[in-house]
Chains A and B, each alone.
Chain A
């Protein structure tokens, strides 16, 4: 289970209200895509989900428990850039999470524990198509390969939620299509709850089971920072079909949207 609940969350910096009245509930195993103009708080929302910043008001709960106030292993993340460590080979990058979790003092594993973690890391490298690049440093990998690596690294120890901040924004269209296939596949296989920020509307609708649109519903021309952005549309996307017409404006707590069929297995 990994049900996210956002309860009347506000985020403001001094007088500048960035986000206001965010309330929503995300079912376990959803693939939520988040779109909206630049500067309307998508990234701020993601930073709050990560624990990088705390909401000014309101609460974010994972399975009914407030999220820790700092980044923690139940949330995996892939950024647009700097997601992998340049000083580690691809294999070491994937291995790192096992080492950090199981060896808090040395950050390294030895003997049988290491062999086991290595085997798991290799499996993930193979799964994202980097089986031939395990011993390469990230600088020798292409942009798409680096993002594949970042996905494997984030997922190897099964976080409950995967946060993606425009992960494919810097990639060529062809590569981006491959990456869509990959992320869809790992989402289906792992049943992880995914939240992905994107600029690309077609990407948002083709990948997501639910699309959130962030925008500023109220604007005071005299004081542009007086009101923040919120979720103006909350759209359920039926698997492989047209998007449904916009659901009710999501200011009030939106009901969890029925997840498509893949999700049922995760619930079970």
Chain B
């Protein structure tokens, strides 16, 4: 039982991290039609900058300053580089962000080195947020904070006690993601600039013809998107690992999220990221393969076929690549995405 709850929470927290990352990408894409390949690189910059700042002034100021730094970098990139290629079409826009990934990777490695860095979360976030204690006799109990050792083991061999702590960093991740979602939503719906952005999400040309300073808005949106990625980076870097390959690791998955959720839809991105997070987490738990499925259905397969690696592939082995399978399936059957409004 606690396995299910903890897995649920793990999946949700991972999904929310993906959402933090992909919300910026969705905004940028919806607004400018630019699929920002370098989004994961901004995530990486956020983690590294956060690491450096936290070493100087501490984690909490880093949480605020690092995203701002990344936002400024993103805005500068948009102003001086990206703007020059708008006139060439969508393909060069994509390509310039593609080239940017290489440059950012090399520069990050140059400044911070090539091995993983230890980006420690602050003292208040270390340790578990709460612990689920499953006592085979007393049932399920929740304890805030860490559970003392005596409660986790029992002298009696017949009684099984399992303690499942849920890390505070993950709980914090979920909290920040939700706060971010709410504030972005409020920004889009309640403020004037938000209304302009919303309009530009679906009708960019009309907004321009109405006289709004669309280039400035673009710069703002790109910067904001990069800043959101930077925020995700600070949190992701301290929860997981801060190393040069972190951009490549999440880079493709966030594209999957954006596409599966639907281009131009923030709620779609939310749905897709939570879905992918949950599926990936739960899929690990299942060891079913096509072979086991066949035997359950009563199909008799020969020994050679049963030994074939493809038939033996279990769901848990393919769990990390399930998102790509989703991507391909969604694009075949519903190219608009789950909640998408535009196809391009």
A and B part of one assembly: no
Query: Which A residues contact B (CB, under 8 angstroms)?
Result: none
